[in-house]
């Protein structure tokens, strides 16, 4: 019997590319984690508490790498997280970023994100749940498992609900295979709190509880600017002011969903712009015409007509 | 009749090499995943060479990104069938290929009884030969032991 030379060592060498690094900047240069953090800073508006926590986590992972290089013990931290916040506050967007950041820092091996909801984890009949949950877990190994609206997993009103089974399998894997995947639970604040109260095991296995605050109007306006820019549109004269006014009226109304509402409002404005241009059958349009959202496109919104009727 | 030099059955890849360690199995899985193969776990207690289709342990695993998922399935199969043969197979779904492209044994019973050559006398002086798996001489629940 003989050994196969160089095979088993290949794994260790591959994961330890930064073994010579002695300073933070060396680790950052080798892992490009700095770029991701800068991108996060530039692309995401607001969200100060979330960003600062992500920076903390990134710092810990970098320092751990330095400790490891000096032969000190670096205990892999538990990075399971829960994101709570109102709709449209950027939970999914941050989760996507998180997968990338953790990948660059070398904490997860592949850095993909598997986004699931209750339907993907919980089965319809006895014996259906375990294979379903395990399949999702297997797919998310080496990456991040993002469970949206996680509180639906647990239904206290039905004691024969299979959600509990899914939770137990999740807990087991979260505990035993911390190196293989990161689980992120997301949902609205109050319902997630109720979920954690009834599943203390889940709450204690999640090290990072991040709360996503609502955006102030100024941040929403900057988000709108970014969204338009990404789609090659821009506000025409007076349109930005009109949109600011629109936001002021829209925010106190029910079902306001932060950035998502902004996106929907902009999509509707684009529709109105399109039909405004469509009416001009014989005009030759310049690029400027096609990219400008004019003030009337915003003013035509239902939000303004309701306000006018009330006054 | 045990006619191979390593004293155990040799089927699939790597079967003349010493047992792969879990780290080496992980590397092989990783290689397959990078090529876009779908891994599956199969087990049997009858290693007869003509026993082509072993029992499936769960369905084939598509859309996996990391070897840890396959290893998790393998460990649970080893736990369920510690004294069976277990093999990993990689399926290549490329159009025109659509077949198993890798297959290797990752678990064996502690005792491998091997095969015997059976002769059957037929009409005239004709002899018909067949390979017989000794493992199947014992009832199902007693196979694979010492």
Arithmetic mean of pLDDT, B71-93: 95
B27 contacts on A by Cβ (under 8 Å): 7, 10-11
Across A196-210, A228-242, A295-309, least confident range: A295-309
Residue B140, token pair as written in the block = 């199902």
CA distance A54 to chain B (A): 24
Query: Strand, coil or helix: what is A208?
Result: strand
- pLDDT tens for A11-70 read 443 444 456 677 877 777 777 767 777 877 887 888 888 888 888 888 888 888 888 888
CA distance B24 to B14: 11
CA distance B66 to chain A (A): 5
Query: Strand, coil or helix: what is A79?
Result: coil
Q: Is A181 on the interface with B (CB under 8 A)?
A: yes
Strand partners, B90: B39, B102
pLDDT of residue A2: 47
Give the residue from A103, A135, A145 with the most B CB atoms within 10 Å of its CB, the best one to mutate: A135
* pLDDT confidence band for A8 (50 / 70 / 90): very low
CA distance B80 to chain A (A): 15
CA distance B77 to A108: 25
Note whether A205 and A77 are within 8 A (CB): no
pLDDT of residue A10: 41
CA distance B59 to chain A (A): 10
CA distance B25 to chain A (A): 10
pLDDT of residue A97: 83
Does the pLDDT at position B145 exceed 70? no
Across A103-117, A220-234, B2-16, B47-61, least confident range: B2-16
pLDDT of residue A7: 45
* pLDDT confidence band for A302 (50 / 70 / 90): confident
* pLDDT confidence band for A311 (50 / 70 / 90): low
Q: Is B68 on the interface with A (CB under 8 A)?
A: yes
Q: Do A10 and B69 touch (CB under 8 A)?
A: no
CA nearest to B65, candidates A100, A181, A284: A181
Question: Of B18, B24, B69, which has the smallest distance from its Cβ to A138's Cβ?
Answer: B69
CA distance A185 to A207: 12
pLDDT of residue A49: 85
Distances (CA, A) of A282 to A272, A274, A279: 18, 15, 9
* pLDDT confidence band for A267 (50 / 70 / 90): very high
pLDDT of residue B27: 96
CA distance A103 to A144: 10
Structural Rg of chain B based on CA atoms: 17
Arithmetic mean of pLDDT, A269-277: 91
Share of chain B above pLDDT 90, in %: 68
Q: Is B77 on the interface with A (CB under 8 A)?
A: no
Return the beta strands (E) in chain B as ranges: 38-44, 55-56, 85-92, 99-107, 115-121, 127-133
- pLDDT tens for B117-132 read 899 999 999 999 999 9
* Summary mean pLDDT of chain B: 90
pLDDT of residue A14: 41
* pLDDT confidence band for A307 (50 / 70 / 90): low
Q: Do A4 and B24 touch (CB under 8 A)?
A: yes
Arithmetic mean of pLDDT, A116-127: 91
Arithmetic mean of pLDDT, B21-46: 95
Q: Is A278 on the interface with B (CB under 8 A)?
A: no
* pLDDT confidence band for A99 (50 / 70 / 90): confident
* Residue A243, H or E segment: helix A239-250
Across A95-109, A199-213, B13-27, least confident range: A95-109
Q: Is B56 on the interface with A (CB under 8 A)?
A: no
Note whether A206 and A193 are within 8 A (CB): no
Distances (CA, A) of B43 to B57, B67, B90: 7, 19, 14
Residue A280, token pair as written in the block = 């001009």
Residue B82, token pair as written in the block = 């510690």
Does the pLDDT at position A163 exceed 60? yes
Q: DSSP alpha helices (H): ranges in chain B?
A: 22-34, 67-80
Residue of A nearest to B16 (CA): A1
Burial of B101 (0-12, 13-18, 19+ CB in 10 A): middle
pLDDT of residue B6: 67
CA distance A75 to A67: 10
Q: Is A163 on the interface with B (CB under 8 A)?
A: no
């Amino acid at each position: 019997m003989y050994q196969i030379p160089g095979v088993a060592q290949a794994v260790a060498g591959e994961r330890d590319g930064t073994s010579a690094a002695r300073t933070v900047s060396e680790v950052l240069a080798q892992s490009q984690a700095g770029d991701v953090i800068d991108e996060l800073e530039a692309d995401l508006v607001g969200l100060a508490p979330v960003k600062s926590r992500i920076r903390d986590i990134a710092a810990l992972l970098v320092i751990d790498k330095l400790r490891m290089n000096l032969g000190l013990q670096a205990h892999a931290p538990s990075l399971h997280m829960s994101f709570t916040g109102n709709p449209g506050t950027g939970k999914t967007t941050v989760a996507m970023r998180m997968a990338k950041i953790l990948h660059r820092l070398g904490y997860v091996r592949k850095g993909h994100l598997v986004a699931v909801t209750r339907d993907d984890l919980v089965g319809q009949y006895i014996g259906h749940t375990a294979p379903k949950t395990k399949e999702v877990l297997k797919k998310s190994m080496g990456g991040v498992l993002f469970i949206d609206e996680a509180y639906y997993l647990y239904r206290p009103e039905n004691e024969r609900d299979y959600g509990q089974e899914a939770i137990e399998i999740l807990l087991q894997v979260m505990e035993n295979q911390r190196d293989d995947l990161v689980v992120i639970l997301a949902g609205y604040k109050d319902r997630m709190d109720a979920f954690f109260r009834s599943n203390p095991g889940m709450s204690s296995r999640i090290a990072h509880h991040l709360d996503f605050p609502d955006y102030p109007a100024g941040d929403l306006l900057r988000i709108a600017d970014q969204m338009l820019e990404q789609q090659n549109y821009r506000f025409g004269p007076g349109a930005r002011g009109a949109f600011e006014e629109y936001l002021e009226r829209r925010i106190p109304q029910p079902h306001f969903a932060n950035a998502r509402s902004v996106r929907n409002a902009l999509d509707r404005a684009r529709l109105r712009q399109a039909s405004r241009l469509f009416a001009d059958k014989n005009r030759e349009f310049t690029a400027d015409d096609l990219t400008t959202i004019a003030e009337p496109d915003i003013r035509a919104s239902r939000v303004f007509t309701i306000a006018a009727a009330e006054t | 009749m045990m006619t191979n030099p390593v004293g155990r059955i040799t089927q699939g890849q790597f079967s003349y090499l010493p047992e792969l360690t879990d780290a080496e199995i992980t590397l092989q899985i990783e290689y397959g995943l990078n090529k876009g193969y779908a891994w599956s776990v199969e087990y049997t207690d009858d290693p007869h060479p003509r026993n082509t289709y072993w029992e499936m342990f769960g369905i084939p695993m598509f859309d996996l990104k990391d070897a840890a998922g396959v290893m998790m399935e393998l460990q649970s199969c080893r736990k369920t069938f510690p004294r069976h043969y277990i093999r990993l197979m990689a399926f290549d779904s490329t159009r025109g290929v659509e077949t198993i492209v890798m297959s290797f044994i990752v678990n064996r019973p502690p005792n491998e009884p091997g095969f015997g050559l059976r002769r059957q006398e037929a009409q005239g002086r004709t002899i018909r030969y067949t390979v017989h798996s000794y493992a199947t001489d014992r009832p199902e629940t007693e196979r694979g032991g010492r």
